[in-house]
């Protein structure tokens, strides 16, 4: 947060986008060299990409098909299966990439024929399963794979549309996902270097492993309202609950006094973000991810509570040289998590 580079970048972004900060932003997704050699924007239907806890979520079927994949739904286990075909000489860059990836997997026995790559992503879970699938001479399938821990999880909206976290659902296949804040655009591309997980093993159940219909699975989930999400996710969250020492949160009947639309970034207690301050805040002792925010004290009074659309209640406990005028820096658990979170503009209220 105190790092000068962060301060300069934040200031530039705020200056460049000052006139647009109060506009409604539509999130777009661009596929760069995925199903064709050029760049193409994903055409979504009535359900558009949304942000929840600064994670960008996209409709599963539209996203999978735009990425050159097939998607199926296993109802008994509430699991989406993304399937990526392989083809070393395919016209599609992603299928050529997939062929190279599976060629790097050591099959358990010689003579196995590579077939495809699949990812099983269960509704409401942050654990997925990646599989590199082979077929033996008798036509039986053998899967080599591993579990994949996602930063985000899948959700269902309006009891009908599955929404995938774009970063996790593409990076599980090794694809590169980036974010252009000026355009509010996520972009997906094939990396120059092919990599595969290093903890692969034979998965005995050739169905969906731990998500097979015979496994003990819970079908409990929360269905989110699409209109609430596109309006900023008021009061909605699926982030992990904070287990740190609590401070009495205020009770309130409404959101309070509207302060404006703020530029939202994220930081953690590491040396890069917080320099010599470590885990200490300016006004409230230690940083508490899920509660602590850094603010400009001329705009938001120290130790006051604010309501941030899409995040809920947060407390002004920190500040720093990188904080702009209408800018809030939200504390998170680790530096690795920051790269998975998109910056955004959110409505902010001072809680009465």
Residue 236 burial by Cβ neighbours in a 10 Å radius (0-12, 13-18, 19+): buried
Please state whether beta strands 39-41 and 141-149 pair in parallel, antiparallel, or not at all (unpaired).
unpaired
Tell me the domain boundaries of the chain.
33-224, 239-350
Fold (topology level) of 239-350: Barwin-like endoglucanases (2.40.40)
The whole-angstrom separation of Cα 126 and Cα 13 is: 32
Tell me the pLDDT of the chain (352 aa) as tens digits. Answer: 444 444 434 444 443 333 333 334 588 999 999 999 999 999 998 889 988 777 888 999 999 999 999 998 877 778 889 999 999 999 999 999 999 999 999 888 888 999 999 999 888 888 889 999 999 888 888 889 888 888 878 888 876 788 898 999 999 999 999 888 778 899 999 998 998 998 898 876 544 445 444 344 445 556 767 777 766 655 555 543 333 444 555 554 556 788 988 999 998 888 788 776 778 888 988 888 888 999 999 999 999 999 888 777 889 999 988 898 899 999 888 887 787 778 888 888 898 7
Cα torsion for 178, 181, 182, 186, to the nearest 10°?
A: 40
Neighbours of 41 (CB within 10 A): 12
pTM, whole model, 2 decimals? 0.64
CA 279 from chain centre, in angstroms, equals: 25
- The helix/strand count (H/E) of the chain reads as 7, 21
The residues, ordered by sequence, that sit 6+ positions from 170 with a Cβ below 8 Å of its Cβ are: 67, 177, 188
């Amino acid at each position: 947060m105190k790092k000068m580079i962060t301060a300069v970048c934040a200031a530039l972004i705020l200056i460049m986008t000052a006139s647009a900060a109060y506009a409604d932003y539509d999130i777009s997704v661009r596929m760069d060299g995925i199903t064709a050699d050029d760049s193409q924007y994903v055409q979504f239907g009535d359900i558009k990409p949304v942000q929840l806890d600064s994670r960008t979520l996209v409709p599963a079927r539209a996203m999978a098909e735009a990425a050159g994949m097939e998607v199926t739904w296993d109802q008994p286990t509430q699991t989406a299966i993304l399937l990526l075909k392989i083809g070393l000489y395919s016209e599609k860059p992603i299928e050529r990439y997939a062929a190279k990836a599976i060629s790097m997997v050591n099959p358990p026995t010689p003579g196995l024929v590579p077939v495809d790559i699949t990812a099983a992503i269960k509704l409401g879970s942050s654990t997925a399963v990646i599989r590199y699938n082979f077929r033996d001479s008798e036509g039986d399938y053998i899967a080599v794979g591993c579990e994949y821990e996602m930063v985000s999880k899948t959700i269902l909206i309006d009891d009908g549309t599955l929404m995938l976290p774009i970063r996790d659902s593409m990076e599980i296949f090794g694809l590169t996902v980036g974010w252009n804040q000026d355009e509010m655009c996520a972009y997906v591309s094939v990396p120059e270097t092919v990599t595969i997980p290093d903890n692969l093993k034979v998965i005995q159940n050739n169905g969906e492993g731990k998500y097979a219909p015979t496994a003990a699975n819970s079908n409990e989930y929360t269905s989110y309202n699409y209109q609430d999400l596109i309006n900023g996710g008021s009061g909605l969250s699926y982030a992990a609950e904070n287990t740190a020492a609590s401070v009495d949160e205020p009770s309130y009947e409404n959101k309070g006094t509207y302060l404006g639309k703020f530029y939202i970034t994220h930081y953690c207690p590491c040396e890069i973000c917080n320099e010599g301050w470590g885990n200490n805040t300016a006004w409230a002792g230690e940083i508490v991810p899920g509660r602590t925010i850094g603010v400009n004290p001329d705009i938001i009074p120290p130790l006051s509570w604010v309501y941030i659309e899409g995040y809920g209640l947060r407390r002004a406990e920190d500040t720093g040289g990188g904080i702009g005028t209408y800018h809030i820096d939200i504390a998170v658990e680790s530096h690795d998590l920051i790269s998975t979170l998109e910056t955004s503009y959110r409505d902010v209220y001072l809680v009465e």
